[in-house]
Structure 1
Amino acid sequence: MIPAARLSAAIEIIAAIETQRVPAAQALKEWGTAHRFAGSGDRAAISGLVWDVLRRRASSAYLMGSETPRARLLGMLRLERGMDVDAIAALCDGGRFAPEPLDEAERTALASGSLDGAPAHVAGDYPEWLDAQLAAVFGEDRVAEATAMASRAPLDLRVNTLKAKREKVLGSLKHLGAKPTPWSPVGLRIELGADARNPGLHSEEDFLKGAVEVQDEGSQLAALFSAAKPGEQVIDLCAGAGGKTLALAAMMGGKGRLIAADRDKRQLAPIHERLSRAGVHNAEVRAPKGEAEPLADIKASADLVLIDAPCSGTGTWRRNPDAKWRMRPGALEVRLKDQVEVLDRAAGMVKPGGRIAYITCSVLPAENNEQMRAFIARHPEFSIVPPEETASVLWDKAEDFAAAALRSDEGWLLTPRRTGTDGFFVAVLRKA
């Protein structure tokens, strides 16, 4: 497909997303099924266009003065891809399979339009009802922070130290453009261009042998800040597919007791194969059976309970731009109740002197700082571990990290703008 035809396809898919109210991934899959002539490179490029439009859904419409799928695409090419009016006009020439030529209003908007005067939620591309929450944590910087959360994320990998060292894997994945991550001592990063296809990591020998796993650097840091140690009893309370379970296992060096549990056994489905590939032998997976509590025997005995809490996912907007526009206030209220429930469960599992590591992939204070303050009010036997102490695991990078991340009395907030990671909140609490 020629580049102009890819634009036409993207406009068609965006229209389907908006009129049929279907998730973007579903709309892309259905388009690909109906257009089998499109090669993998075409599908990757079209997907990139669609995801970028969703990233710039509000600002591109404001720039163009129109909310049509075509207007959003044109505005995105200017705002996200940095194309000028002549470059865009060359693609929209009205030829076979190409979009119709630009009209005068479109040319004017692309040439001289700006986001000056746009409301914060428009300039930052996020739902208006979240503005108060983002203002509470970022203040006047919320547009810049949200704009960074609308950018494309790199592909981050975690080296499994049970099987390999970062230097060796760095060499074997050099052909993919892998480089060390800025903060994590076990991370690698592969930058992806706007039209880039996924690099086929799952066919790489390092992946097949369990030497690397896909994991955002922010998620790696969250696990590191928990300070899991060999010989400890560690509970991954919301283990899901096992990303942080694997990181904890590597930190423990195969020594101690590691239990991975989740209230939704469907979420645990991939974890068994992942643990086997990673060479983890000290992990036990517990899925719920009926109404019974799978961790009923864990009472005030755990050294560490890690909570990868159910949350709004606002910190992952770079990877899931579709999700932010489908998010509703009612869903946030449900998540807040889930977080209270899982925190209170964890409190009874921790032994005196033990720790809870509370992690969200959210930047909203209601899910982060406010939850921590409310938890300590309910459980005064717990106190916050000073954030500087948790970040000390980064050794020579701890000071630079502290200057980059957003510190509060409750913990660390990582963001794409500040730390180059997904948005994560990490707090560690210690029981007296």
Structure 2
Amino acid sequence: MTTTLSIAEALNSLLKAPLPLRFTAYDGSASGPEDSAYGLHLANERGLRYILTAPGDLGFGRAYVAGDLQLSGVHPGDPYEALKLVQSNLSFKRPSAGEVVSILRSLGLSTLRPPAPPPQEAPSRLRRTVEGLRHSLGRDAEAIHHHYDVSNRFYELVLGPSMTYTCAVFPTETSTLEEAQFEKYDLVARKLDLEPGQRLLDLGCGWGGMVRHAAREYGVHALGVTLSREQAAWAQEKIKEEGLDHLAEVRHMDYRHVEERDFDAISSIGLTEHIGVKNYASYFAFIEDRLRPQGRLLNHCITRHDNHFRETGAFLDRYVFPDGELTGSGQIIKDVQDAGLEVQHEENLRVHYAKTLTGWCRNLVENWDECVAEVGEGTARVWGLYMAGSRIGFERNETQLHHVLATKTVDGVSGYPLRHDWRP
């Protein structure tokens, strides 16, 4: 006699250990502890089809973004606690052929028909490759547009007044996010030894935070470039508002089109993640060519905990960072050195990024209604899920954040002091 499994029973058959939270499904079945603080509800067949036709984080992500998979006990702007519980305790086994047949017979072959993805999803890597070579000028521009041209107002609500979408540096455990973002920019400025009248190039400048900080606090002539048209427009308006247009400029352009040379310093804050590991050599060669002798580079980027290259997960690639790539700080240091620059210092700020993401999620929760009104609930769900998940990755040392400071040393002269001292 053939046994028909409910959705909850089918799920249980795939698990190595019992569910750590309460699960319910639209067929009336349930599993997991009834007194759990967190619940997961599969609301309809479309959600089931998402999960079955794209196993792993992509299928679950699609169902969650579409609202077909619902978390209770947490705010959608910060599902951190539920995610941490699931990631720590949920483990799937490889089903036998008989188990697969039994599950499909119970759930129906119609569940293997993939629904259209949510509108927030970017094309697959394969489709993007057909449309343009990876990290070509056009494809990089489209990838940046997908993530950064969401809505400047949305970013203001999530990032806060600093409008800074990179890891902050917390001077103390109780520092605010804004204080920590100021400290980050100032630490970069101090590491670069910026002085009035110098020239700074900021690559991938975002909304111009570093450009404005260098001009306002250090009297530096600062040029920033970004592939996001929305970022450039916002930054230029802010520069004029602060009366810094005699010192600061942000251009909407690819860094590869910057023709000026002999910069005293170059900062790269959060761009290396987007250029592709295979392009590190040419990227740092470009930087070396644009620096004056004894000029400095500060490279700030997310890294892996080791030096093995791995693609980002499918959910991050489709919904957050198309074509994003990460590797370890060792690979970055090697390519900086191979470009002819002398590495003077390296620093890991991993725990600071976990705290930064905590602050961004808090902002998203506090401004949830306005964020949803601005970009739609699906996009807001993407951000809550990805930021909370990223926080867990930094807390568990799966990802890190490294500063690499280097000089353009010529004939043995680096311009670097006997010992660094970056105190204010």
Could you say which TM-score interval applies, normalised by the shorter chain? Answer: 0.3 to 0.5
TM-score (norm 1): 0.43
* Relative contact order, higher structure (CA 8 A, sep 6+): 2
TM-score (norm 2): 0.44
